[in-house]
Amino acid sequence: MTYVRPKFRHPELQKNKLGYTVDYYEGALSTLCAGCGHDSISAGIIQAAYEMNIEPHKLAKLSGIGCSSKTPAYFLSNSHGFNSVHGRMPSVATGANLANRDLTYFGVSGDGDTASIGMGQFVHVIRRSLNMTYIVMNNGCYGLTKGQDSATADQGSKNKGGNVNLFESIDLASLAIELGATFVAQSFSGDKAQLVPLIKAAMNHPGFAFINVISPCVTFNNNVGSTKSYDYVREHIGATATVDFVPEMQEISIEYGKGTHKNVTMHDGSVIQLHKLAEDWNPLDRQSAMNAVINAKAKNEILTGLLYVNPDAHDLHDIIKTSDRPLNTLTKEELCPGSEMLNEINADLR
Amino acid sequence: MKATDIKNPEYFHKVVDCQHACPAHTPVPEYIRLIAEEKYTEAYMINWDSNVFPGVLGRTCDRPCEPACRRGRIDGKGEEPVAICRLKRVAADNKGDVKGLMPKGPFRPNGKKVALIGAGPASLTVARDLAPLGYEIHLYDEQKLGGGFMRSQIPSFRLPETVLNEEVGYILDLGIHTHFNHYVESLKETLGKDYDAVFVGSGAPKGRDLDIPGRKDGAANIHIGINWLANVAFEHTAKVGKKVIVLGGGNTAMDCCRTARRLGGDEVKVFVRSPFAEMKASPWEKEDAAHEDIPIIDNHVPKSFVVEGGVLKGMTFEKVTAEYDKDGKRKLVPVSGPDIFIEANDVLIAVGQENSFPWIERDLGIEFDKWDMPTVNETTFVSTNPKVFFGGDSAWGPKNVITAVAHGHQAAISIDLMCNGKDLALRLSPYVNLVSQKMGIHEWAYDSEVVSDKRYVVPQADKKLTLTNRKKEVELGFNALAGFKEAERCLNCDIQTVFTTDKCIECDACVDICPTACISFTENADESDLRSMLKMPAKNLTQDLYVSDTLPTKRVMVKDENVCLHCGLCAERCPTSAWDMQKFFYNVTKAHTGCASHK
Ligand SMILES: Cc1cc2nc3c(=O)[nH]c(=O)nc-3n(C[C@H](O)[C@H](O)[C@H](O)COP(=O)(O)OP(=O)(O)OC[C@H]3O[C@@H](n4cnc5c(N)ncnc54)[C@H](O)[C@@H]3O)c2cc1C
Ligand SMILES: Cc1ncc(C[n+]2csc(CCOP(=O)(O)OP(=O)(O)O)c2C)c(N)n1
Ligand code: SF4
Ligand code: SF4
Ligand code: SF4
Ligand SMILES: [Mg+2]
C-alpha cells in the first residue's frame, strides 16, 4: 500500500514575491473521501495564500470539529494552527486575535460546526467584528458523523438514505449580512476561478469576512434529490458578478458593458473588481444584498460571488480601543505601569 | 482539440518516453520492474526479444532512451534520467538459465536460403529472427569470429569478450551456417548462389584519413583509429609509444585514447577541432577518458605531422576559436600566434568513418546516390533490387548497435514477407495490451510510490588494475541492491492514466491532488491556445495533450503528459474511478513472432 505524495512539483512553478512556490503553502495529504468538495476549497486556500504572498508564520488556522474542520491539516503546513472544540473555533480565534493582532486569522468550519452547535459563537463573533476570515465548507450534512442532515440542509432535500428534510434551512450568508458582517460572499467548491479571488479579498478585509462555500459531500450527500450535490449545484448556480481581486490599484484592462462594471476600493488601496451579472444589486448596500439573496432563493437559484462588502470596516480592536501593538509584545513595564499609575486610574474612577 | 484516440497504440507508446526513443522500442519500464522484483531472467528475456544483445548493450549502448527519460524532466533542478542502460546489465549479470527460454532448433526448414554479409549486430538480428522460421541462414564475415564492430572496435575494457561471445553464441546456436574469414568479393557472385534474399550488414568499415603534410613520411607511426582498434582486438597490435596524440572528438577517439593508455601510452592527449561542449563523444565517454588522466584539448586544428630522420616526432596545430553566425552556424577562426608543436611517438586518427562497397557491382539493379550510398527504403530496408536488403551502418552510415538491431528486425520481416510473396508494405502491427492495475484502496499492482533518490553511480574497478590490463572491465556494474534502488527511480511511464469521460463528476479532486499540475478542466480550444490555458502552460511541444470528450459543463479534461509522474494519485482521489491506472504493454512484432508464413 502506498499513498505518498511525491516530492516533485511542476518544474516551471513561479515564485511569489516572497520567493516561495505554491507547494510551500501545501499541507499534509488529505485523508478526506476522494472527491470531497472540502479538498478543492483547501486547494483554493493554498492558491490564495500563495498569490497573496502570505508569510506562513504570520497566519493562524483555526477550526472546530468535522471533516471541514480537519482541512487545516491539509493546507499551510508552515502556519500556526488550532483545531479546537466542536463549534468553539470563534472563541479561540477571538482570544488569539486579541493577544496578537498582527497575524492573519483564518477560520474553517462546517455547516454543523457553525449552524448547529456553534451558532451562538458564530453570531457573536460577527457581532464583535473580529478581524478574521471565516469559511464554512457547507455540505448540508454532518459529514464526519456519517451524513446526518445539518441545519443548512434545504427543506425537501433528500439524503442518501432517502429521507426528506422537513425543516427550514438556515441561510448563513443572509444571517451574516443581517448581523453586520462587513464582507459576505458565497461560492462553490467546484468554481476555483471565483473562489480564489474571494478568499484573497476576504483575507485582505480589515474586519469579519465570511464565505459560505457549497462543498458537496461525495459520500453522504451527493445523491439525486439532494440540493447540495455536484449536479444540483451546477444546475442551479448563479452569480452576482465575476470577481477579481487586485492587491494594488492598476490599470483595468477589460472593459465591460456600460453600468455592469464595478470596482470596490478597499481601505489599503486594493481593489475588488466586479463584473456584475445580477440586476438591482449593489455590493455596497446591505439591503440590496439581502434582496438579491432572497430573490435568488425564490427562484431556486444558489447565488454566488461577493454579496456584500463594507470597505470602511472596523474591527474589534478599533471598537474596544486596544493597544496598537500585539499584547504578546508588551513588556512587563507596559503591562504593570506601577502603583503611581494605578492610583491615577483609581482616582479617575472615583 | 479533438478528443484523444487512446485506441491508437501510438498515443500511449509516446508516453513511455524511453521505449519510444529506443530504436528497437524495448519495453523498458517492464524490464525495470522485473529487475526490482529480482526477476532477472524475465527481465533479460524482454530485452533479448527486443534488442538481442542485452549484456552487450547494458554496457555499451548509446542509450538514446536516457536523454528522453521523463525522470530527467521532472524537476528542472538537474534530476537525472534513470540509468536505463546499466540496469539492463543488472538483468544480464544476474540472470538464470535463459537458453531454455529461447527458440531451440533444429527448426523445420522452409526451403528458403538467405545470405547475410557481415556478422555485425544487424545481420545477427536478421539471423535470429529468421532462423526459427526455418530459413537456412548463411552468415559471411571477413573476421574470424562473429560480432562485427562489437568485437573489432568496442574495447574489451568496456565489453568483455565473454559477454559478447555468449550473446553471439545464442544466435549462432540456432543453426546458422557461418562463413568466417571469408571476405565477400562480389555481390553478383553471392546472388548467383540461389539465395532467396541477401542482407547487406557490412557496416561502415572505412576510417577517414587526414591528408596533411608529413602523413606519408610518418606513416609507420600514424594509424587509422578503427583499423588500429581492430588490430588491438585481434591481437596484432600490443604496444604503442609513450606519447600518443589522438585526433578526433567522437566515441572512436575516446576508445582509441583509452586503449592507448593501456598499451604503454603514458602521455595520451586528445586533440579536437571543435569546442569541448560540441564534441560528438557521449558525455560519459569523455568523463571516463578524463578519469584515466587523458586531457582533451579543444579548438586545435591539426596542421602537419613532424617527421625527422624518418621518425615521427609530433604534430603541429593551429589554435582556433569557434564563432557563430546568426543562424548558429559554426566557423572555426584561427587565433593569431604561432602554430603549436606537440610531441608524439604515435598518432591515432579518429576523425570519422565511411561506407564503402567495392564488392558490390553497380549493374545489379541497386541504385547508388551521388555519395555512393545505396538507395534503401526506410521502412522495409529493401534496396532497388527486390532481393537485396540493407541495414545497420551499411544503410545510412555509422550509427550504433541498437539502431543496427532495430534495422535487423524490420529487414527480417521484409525478407519473410518477400519470401512468402507478400507486399513489403504490410508491416506487422505491434502487440499491445492495456490492463487496469487497481487492486483495492491505495493498492495498485505496480509500485506507485515516487522515490526521491538521485541517480546511482556505477562503481568502477581500480584504475591501477584497469590501466595495466587491457581486458579488465572498467565498470563493475550495479550490485543487486544498487540495481534495485536505481530501478525504483523509474516512474513506470507505461502505467497509463486512462480517463473515462462519462464517469467524471468534475469534482476537481484530480486537479488538486496532482503534484505536477498535469490535469486541467477547461473550455476546449485549438491545441496552441489550449496549451496556454492549462493550470500550468504546456510548453513542451514534443509531449502530447490528452483531451477528453466534452463533459456536462461543456468543458474538457486536458492532461499534459509532459511531467506526469505516473504516481496514480489522480486515480486514488477520483471518487468515480474516472481515472484508472492501466498498464500499457507495447512490443514490436518480430518476424518470428508474427511471421508472414503463419498467416
Ligand atoms: C571505435 C568504435 C566504438 C563504438 N562503440 C560503440 C558503442 O559503445 N555502442 C554502440 O552502440 N555502438 C558503438 N559503435 C558503433 C557500432 O559498433 C556500429 O554502429 C555497429 O556495430 C554497426 O553494426 P552493423 O551490423 O551495421 O555492422 P558492423 O558491426 O560494422 O559489422 C560489419 C561487419 O561486416 C564485415 N564486412 C564488411 N564488408 C564485408 C565483406 N565484403 N565481406 C565480409 N564481411 C564484411 C566487417 O568486417 C564487420 O565485421 C562503435 C564504433 C566504433 C568504430
Ligand atoms: C461537542 C461535540 N458534539 C458532537 C460531536 C460529534 N460531531 C463530530 S463532527 C459533527 C458534525 C460535523 O458537521 P460539519 O461541521 O458540517 O462538518 P462536515 O464533517 O460536514 O464537514 C458532530 C456532530 C463532537 N465531536 N463534539
Ligand atoms: S522514468 Fe522509467 S518508464 Fe519513464 S522514461 Fe524513464 S525509464 Fe522510462
Ligand atoms: S499519475 Fe495522475 S496525479 Fe500522478 S502525476 Fe500523473 S496525472 Fe498527476
Ligand atoms: S477526480 Fe474523477 S470525478 Fe473528479 S474531476 Fe477528476 S476525473 Fe472527474
Ligand atoms: Mg457539513
Does domain B113-205+355-427 match CATH 3.90.1150.10?
Answer: no
Q: Which residue of B has its CA nearest to A11?
A: B75
A135 CB within 6 A, ligand 2: no
Contact of B45 with chain A, judged by CB distance below 8 Å, is answered with no
Smallest Cβ–Cβ distance between B572 and the set A3, A8, A40 belongs to A3
Q: Would you say residue A174 lies in a domain?
A: yes
A257 pLDDT band, cuts 50/70/90, is very low
Q: What is the structure's pLDDT at A249?
A: 52
Other Cβ atoms closer than 10 A to B98: 18
Residue A266 lies inside a defined structural domain of this protein: yes
What's the confidence (pLDDT) of residue B597?
A: 53
Are B449 and A8 a contacting pair at CB < 8 A?
A: no
- Beta-carbon pairs below 8 A across chains A and B: 100
A328 domain residue, yes or no: no
Query: What mean pLDDT is predicted for residues B558-575?
Result: 96
Q: Is the Cβ atom of A51 under 6 angstroms away from ligand 2? A: no
Which ligand places an atom closest to the C-alpha of B83? 3
Q: For B207-352, which CATH superfamily applies?
A: FAD/NAD(P)-binding domain (3.50.50.60)
Q: Identify the pLDDT of residue A268.
A: 80
- B537 interface with A at CB cutoff 8 Å: yes
What confidence tier does A258 reach under pLDDT thresholds 50, 70, 90?
Answer: very low
Residue A2 maps to a domain: no
Asked whether residue A142 is assigned to any structural domain, the reply reads: yes
CATH for A164: 3.40.50.970
Percent of chain B with pLDDT strictly greater than 70? 99
ipTM over 0.85: yes
Judge whether B68 is closer than 8 Å to chain A, CB to CB: no
Name the percent of chain A in helix, strand, coil, to the closest 5. Answer: 35, 20, 45
Query: A108 in a domain, yes or no?
Result: yes
Question: Exposed e or buried b for every residue in B13-35, given b needs 16+ CB within 10 A?
Answer: bbbbbbbbbbbbbbbbbbbbbbb
How many Cα neighbours within 13 Å face the side chain of A263?
16
| pLDDT tier, B498 (very low <50, low <70, confident <90, very high otherwise) | very high
Say yes or no: CB of residue B234 within 6 Å of ligand 1: no
* φ and ψ at residue A168, rounded to 5 degrees: -65, 145
Residue A331 lies in a domain: no
Reported as a single tens digit per residue, the pLDDT across B10-58 is 999 999 999 999 999 999 999 999 999 999 999 999 999 999 999 999 9
pLDDT digits (tens, 9 = 90+) for B264-301: 999 999 999 999 999 999 999 999 999 999 999 999 99
Cis amide leading into B106 (omega within 30) = yes
Phi, psi for A330 (deg, rounded to 5) = -75, 140
Query: Is A8 in contact with B536 (Cβ distance < 8 A)?
Result: no
Mean pLDDT, range A321-330, rounded to an integer: 91
Q: Is the CB of B70 under 6 A from ligand 3?
A: yes
- The yes-or-no answer to whether B113-205+355-427 and B207-352 have a common fold is yes
Q: A349: which residues sit within 8 A by CB, 6+ positions away?
A: none
Q: How confident is the model at residue A252 (pLDDT cuts 50, 70, 90)?
A: very low
Query: How high is the pLDDT of residue A176?
Result: 97
Beta strands in B252-379 (DSSP E): 267-271, 296-297, 300-308, 311-324, 330-334, 340-343, 346-349, 353-354
Q: How many domains are there within chain A?
A: 1
Distance B565 CA to ligand 4 centre (A): 6
Whether pLDDT at A256 is above 60? no
Mean pLDDT of A64-69: 98
Domain with A188 in it: 22-320
Q: List own/partner pairs for A160-165 with CB under 8 A and 24 or more apart.
A: A160/A220, A160/A221, A160/A223, A160/A226, A162/A225, A164/A225
Mean pLDDT, chain B, as a whole number?
96
Q: pLDDT digit string (tens) for A228-249?
A: 999 999 999 888 777 888 776 5
Average pLDDT over every residue of B346-361: 95
Contact A12 B539 (CB under 8 A): yes
In a domain, A350, yes or no: no
Q: In chain B, what are the domain boundaries?
A: 18-101+447-488, 113-205+355-427, 207-352
Give the CATH architecture of domain B18-101+447-488. Orthogonal Bundle (1.10)
User: For residue B504, what is its C-alpha cell?
Assistant: 467524471
Best mutation target, A7, A9, A71, to test chain B (most B CBs within 10 A):
A9
Predicted local distance difference test score (pLDDT) of residue B599: 45
